[in-house]
Structure 1
Amino acid sequence: MILETAEIMVKAGMEEQFEAGVREAVPLFKRARGCTGMRLQRGIENPRAYRLLVQWDTLEDHNVHFRGSEDFQAWRRLVGDCFDGAPNVTHLSTVLEGF
């Protein structure tokens, strides 16, 4: 499993619009090849800071299949205007699970 983590800063005053856009995008992720779950977290110290966590079977499921799809374009149309700068996206693999 691959965990995509996207650090997203949202423009001031657009937090509710961003969250609504992510909610509307859930079906896009649900039907994406290899996507097994997603979660959106919001910063406590900085409520404009979000972290989108998406689980993928493989890196290619995200970087090739999803990013090359019309659903990715729809995702960006839903939330892109809310971004205050480009998201910082990284991919992680699990090396240890404790409990």
Structure 2
Amino acid sequence: MILEVADIRIQPGRQADFDAAIRRGVETVIAHAHGFSGYKVQRSMESPERYLLMIWWATLEDHTLGFRGSLAFSEWRGIVGPFFAQPPVVEHFELIAKSGDVPAGV
């Protein structure tokens, strides 16, 4: 399982609209991609224009080649891209360790 983390900065004052757009974009576009396993979005309390989008993929290639190389990626960016203040910073992580009380997939 691979965790994609996208650090997203949006334009000030657009949080409510972005909250709806990111949920719609993931649930109507990304969730149908091969290898998609789940997602979580968190908004910073100190910097309300900053979001972390976390998506679990079966493999790195499911994200980098499968989804990002598809027309669905353009559809996704059409939904959320107009809110971006700058391009998101995206990295991929693999699980090394976790405590026993952390739910699976988190």
Q: TM-score range by the shorter chain?
A: over 0.9
TM-score normalized by the length of structure 1: 0.95
Please give the TM-score of this superposition, normalised by the length of structure 2. 0.89
Q: Deviations along 1:1-52, whole A, 9 cap, x unmatched?
A: 0000000011011112211111211121221000000111000011111000
**Unpaired stretches in structure 1, ≥5 consecutive residues:** none
Q: Which runs of 4+ in 1 moved over 3 A?
A: none
Q: Distance in 2 between matches of 1:17 and 1:67?
A: 24
- 1: distance between equivalents of 2:31 and 2:88? 21
Unmatched segments (≥5 aa) in structure 2: 101-106
Matched position secondary structure for 1:65: helix
Percent of matched pairs sharing the same residue: 38
Q: How many residues align?
A: 99
Let me know the Cα RMSD of the aligned residues. Answer: 0.8
Aligned to 2:98: 97
Inter-partner Cα distance in structure 2 for 1:21 and 1:75? 10
